[in-house]
């Protein structure tokens, strides 16, 4: 054993210092930083996962609501359509009724007019016929009342 | 094996250091230079890797050093109480430096001495950890740190412990002797264990080098493969004991069994 021992102790101390400054310090900081980032990443992933779940639940909820709304709208529309059809039917029926009544009235009017014409024709025919049968002149004015009463009975 | 020399001469030649000066004032240039080269190499590599650290895409040496550092840090966390700024760099330095100094053992025993003999260098021992000056120097540094932290953490209690343990205050003189032996045996065993392993490893390589050239590959290869395990294991043991001794220095007595 000799001075080499002291030399090696000095070298040892110097080497510890440089390993500390150049290697241990930067590298431990780096490893800590990396560990921190990994931790952050995992936390962010966890958060993302959680958010995704929330969003999925929300999406399902929204879908459900939309479906319910749609079916409600559909029901309303069907109801509306039924009402419209019902209304149209009613209107059509009323219109038909009205047309029937109008037609009937027209027929009645025609019939009355025909009756009138017939009555007039019968009156004149009966006068002519009576004149022919009696072969003498009958004063139409004297018997108008009689003829009219006959015609009115038609 | 140099022609014309006996096995004993060959071995003693290879186990002699490149020495300057005499006695206690002597300096082993080979030990110092090799360990300095390795230390410089470690500093340069640390500097370059530490400068170009990449958070997202670590590559090459950074990956290697990250693994080593995490391994060392894991050992520290499992043993060391609380946090210390020194223990990490200290343990990492011990592991890397000792590992590479041990690894010098794997360079063929005659290669460096032969190359240097061409330049007139007579003796060259290429494994710094096969020199007790290195291993005891490291152990002594650790010992000083241990004593420093013992006093820093436990204060006067630490000195009183020399009187009170293990036999109680009434046997204080015996206690002091026992505790001194225990404290001093720690750095001694720490340093001598590493030295003994590396010296023996070197010696076996030298003995293998004495065999006929056509058979050397078999025991030489086998021993080299085994030695890869030894150099790693010894570096690891030195680091673990360093951490352990410093951990013990940081623990207060209440936490002791």
- CB contacts, 8 Å: A38 with chain B: none
Q: With 50 as the cut, is the pLDDT of residue B255 above it?
A: no
B32 and A7: CB-CB below 8 Å?
yes
B66 and A27: CB-CB below 8 Å?
yes
Q: What is the pLDDT of residue B256?
A: 46
- CB contacts, 8 Å: A30 with chain B: 53, 55
Q: What percent of chain A has pLDDT over 70?
A: 95
C-alpha to C-alpha distance for B98 and B239, rounded to whole angstroms: 9
Let me know: does B109 contact B205? Beta carbons within 8 Å: yes
Report the candidate in B256, B257, B253, B248 with the shortest Cα–Cα distance to residue B81. B248
Q: What is the pLDDT of residue B142?
A: 93
* Alpha-carbon distance B3 to nearest alpha carbon in chain A (angstroms): 31
Mutate to test the interface with B, among A23, A28, A37 (most CBs of B within 10 A): A23
Using alpha carbons only, how large is chain A's radius of gyration in Å?
A: 59
B50 and A22: CB-CB below 8 Å?
yes
Q: With 50 as the cut, is the pLDDT of residue B151 above it?
A: yes
Strand partners, B20: B27
Mutual angle of helices B29-51 and A3-18, in 10-degree steps: 0
Residue spans of the domains in chain B: they are 7-255
**Which structure tokens are listed for B106?**
């794997």
- CB contacts, 8 Å: A31 with chain B: 66, 69-70
Q: What is the per-residue pLDDT across A83-116, written as a single tens digit (0 to 9) for each?
A: 999 999 999 999 999 999 999 999 999 999 998 8
Q: With 50 as the cut, is the pLDDT of residue A55 above it?
A: yes
- Nearest Cβ partner for A3 among B25, B50, B97: B25
Q: What is the pLDDT of residue B257?
A: 40
Q: What is the pLDDT of residue B1?
A: 45
C-alpha to C-alpha distance for B113 and B149, rounded to whole angstroms: 42
Range with the lowest mean pLDDT among A59-73, A103-117, A138-152? A138-152
Cβ contacts from A onto B, under 8 A: 119
B42 and A15: CB-CB below 8 Å?
yes
C-alpha to C-alpha distance for A21 and A26, rounded to whole angstroms: 7
- CB contacts, 8 Å: B89 with chain A: 16-17, 19-20, 23-25
- Top pLDDT among A131 and B115 is at B115
Please report the sign of the dihedral spanned by the C-alpha atoms of residue B166, residue B167, residue B169, residue B172: negative
Which residues, at least 6 apart from B175, have a Cβ–Cβ distance to it below 8 Å? B162, B163, B164, B165, B166, B167, B168
Q: Is B197 a catalytic residue?
A: yes
Interval B130-157 mean pLDDT: 90
Q: Is B60 on the interface with A (CB under 8 A)?
A: no
- CB contacts, 8 Å: B47 with chain A: 18, 22
DSSP for residue B19: E
Mutate to test the interface with A, among B24, B141, B142 (most CBs of A within 10 A): B141
Q: What is the per-residue pLDDT across B161-208, written as a single tens digit (0 to 9) for each?
A: 888 877 778 888 888 898 899 889 999 999 999 999 999 998 898 888
* Alpha-carbon distance A33 to nearest alpha carbon in chain B (angstroms): 8
* Alpha-carbon distance B13 to nearest alpha carbon in chain A (angstroms): 18
Q: What is the pLDDT of residue A137?
A: 61
Cα–Cα distances in angstroms (integers) from residue A95 to residues A80, A81, A99, A102, in the given order: 22, 20, 6, 10
* Alpha-carbon distance A17 to nearest alpha carbon in chain B (angstroms): 8
H-helix segments, chain A:
3-18, 25-134, 140-153
C-alpha to C-alpha distance for B257 and B252, rounded to whole angstroms: 11
Interval A70-78 mean pLDDT: 95
**Which structure tokens are listed for B115?**
């190359």
Which residues, at least 6 apart from B202, have a Cβ–Cβ distance to it below 8 Å? B14, B15, B105, B109, B125, B127, B130
Q: What is the pLDDT of residue B61?
A: 87
Interval B55-83 mean pLDDT: 88
Q: With 90 as the cut, is the pLDDT of residue B95 above it?
A: yes
Cα–Cα distances in angstroms (integers) from residue A30 to residues A27, A51, A125, B32, B78, in the given order: 5, 31, 135, 33, 21
């Amino acid at each position: 054993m000799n001075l080499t021992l002291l030399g090696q102790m000095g070298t040892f101390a110097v080497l510890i210092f440089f390993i500390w400054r150049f290697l241990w310090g930067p590298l431990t900081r780096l490893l800590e930083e990396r560990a921190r980032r990994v931790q952050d990443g995992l936390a962010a992933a966890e958060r993302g996962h959680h958010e995704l779940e929330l969003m999925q639940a929300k999406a399902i909820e929204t879908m459900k609501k939309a479906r319910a709304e749609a079916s409600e709208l559909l029901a309303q529309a069907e109801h509306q359509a039924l009402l419209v059809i019902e209304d149209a039917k009613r209107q059509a029926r009323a219109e038909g009724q009205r047309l029937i009544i109008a037609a009937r009235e027209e027929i009645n009017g025609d019939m009355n007019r025909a009756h009138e014409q017939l009555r007039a024709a019968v009156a004149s025919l009966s006068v002519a016929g009576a004149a022919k049968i009696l072969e003498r002149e009958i004063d139409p004015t004297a018997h108008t009342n009689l003829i009219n009463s006959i015609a009115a009975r038609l | 094996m140099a022609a014309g020399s006996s096995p004993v001469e060959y071995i003693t030649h290879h186990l002699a250091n490149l020495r300057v000066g005499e006695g206690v004032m002597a300096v082993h240039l080979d030990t110092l230079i090799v360990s300095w080269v390795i230390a410089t190499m470690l500093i340069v590599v640390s500097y370059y890797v530490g400068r170009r650290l990449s958070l997202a895409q670590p590559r090459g040496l950074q990956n290697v050093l990250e693994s080593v550092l995490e391994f060392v840090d894991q050992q520290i966390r499992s043993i060391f109480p609380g946090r210390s700024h020194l223990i990490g760099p200290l343990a990492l330095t011990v592991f890397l430096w000792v590992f590479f100094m041990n690894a010098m053992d794997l360079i063929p025993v005659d290669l460096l001495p032969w190359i240097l003999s061409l330049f007139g260098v007579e003796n060259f021992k290429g494994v710094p950890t096969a020199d007790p000056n290195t291993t005891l120097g490291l152990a002594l540094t650790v010992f000083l740190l241990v004593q420093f932290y013992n006093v820093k953490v436990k204060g006067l209690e630490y000195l009183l412990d020399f009187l009170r343990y293990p036999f109680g205050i009434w046997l204080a003189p015996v206690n002091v002797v026992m505790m001194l032996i225990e404290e001093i045996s720690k750095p001694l065993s720490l340093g001598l264990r590493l030295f003994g392993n590396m010296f023996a490893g070197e010696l076996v390589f030298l003995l293998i080098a004495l065999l006929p050239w056509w058979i050397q590959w078999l025991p030489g290869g086998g021993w080299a493969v085994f030695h890869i395990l030894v150099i790693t294991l010894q570096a690891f043991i030195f680091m673990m004991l360093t951490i352990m001794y410093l951990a013990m220095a940081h623990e207060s007595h209440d936490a002791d069994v």
